Copies of this chain bind each other. A is one copy, B any other.
Amino acid sequence: MLDTQKRGNLYLALLHYSVYNKNERVVSTALTNLDIHDIARAARTFGIAKYYLVTPLIKQQKLAKRILAHWCSGFGAKYNPKRKEALELVAISDSLNDVCEDIYSYWGIKPKIIVTDAKFFDRSIDYINLRKLIEEGSQPYLLLFGTGWGVTEDIIRNSDYVLSPVRGDSDYYHLSVRSAAAIILDRLLGTR
């Protein structure tokens, strides 16, 4: 059962800006349909309060709105109501600032920002400790995922926490953002 008291304080944002491309240039990436679907389904499964798609590009926002409308009120809503239930969690946002303001407007408290990254940082927080903080429930948290080659340094610098990367037992750590998000939500909110 969804315990909104307990789970309702974790938010998720997928950033299409500002992120790096392959050549370490700061870019706006394009939306990926399955990022929207897969992460929304995982978000709904684990009780995320809201899933923000962040892009400053108006054309990309329009595309996202079309996709969401198809599944939330168009043909898709009848064809697959379970998909509707997941995609209803998705909001489109211009910027990380706007996301924080939206959460602030609901809570009256700024969210603590947690960045996810494939690298370790000196100040990385582990899953057990972050899970405990989230479970206290009195404070909203915003979990950031970058597309492309990851969020830019200024976002990492200005975050409250950097989450330890997901690692297997190998020297390879190149998960898709969809896989990384699924694993991280399971580690933070999943039950065994």
| A38 interfacial by beta-carbon distance below 8 Å | yes
| A182 interfacial by beta-carbon distance below 8 Å | yes
- Can you name the residue of chain B whose Cβ is closest to the Cβ of A182? B179
Instruction: Offer 11 A-B interface pairs, CB within 8 angstroms, sorted by A.
Output: A3-B169, A6-B169, A44-B170, A45-B170, A46-B168, A82-B174, A83-B174, A85-B172, A86-B174, A169-B190, A169-B191
| A122 interfacial by beta-carbon distance below 8 Å | no
Are A176 and B41 neighbours in the complex by a CB distance under 8 Å?
yes
- Can you name the residue of chain B whose Cβ is closest to the Cβ of A83? B174
Copies of this chain, count:
2
Are A38 and B2 neighbours in the complex by a CB distance under 8 Å?
no
Are B47 and A175 neighbours in the complex by a CB distance under 8 Å?
no
Known: A126-B192, A186-B186, A186-B187. A42 touches B170 (CB 8 A): no
Are A175 and B126 neighbours in the complex by a CB distance under 8 Å?
no
Provide the residues of chain B in CB contact with A170, threshold 8 Å: 1-2, 7, 44-47
Contact of A169 among B2, B166, B168, B182 (CB under 8 A): B2
Provide the residues of chain B in CB contact with A25, threshold 8 Å: none
- Rounded to whole angstroms, the CA-CA distance of A34 and B175 in the bound complex is 12
- Rounded to whole angstroms, the CA-CA distance of A47 and B85 in the bound complex is 34
A32: shortest Cβ distance to chain B, in Å? 8
A30: shortest Cβ distance to chain B, in Å? 14
**Which A residues, 149 to 185, have Cβ-Cβ distances below 8 Å to chain B?**
166-176, 178-183, 185
Contact of A38 among B45, B126, B179 (CB under 8 A): B179
- Rounded to whole angstroms, the CA-CA distance of A128 and B192 in the bound complex is 9
- Can you name the residue of chain B whose Cβ is closest to the Cβ of A3? B169
Contact of A172 among B86, B181, B190, B192 (CB under 8 A): B86
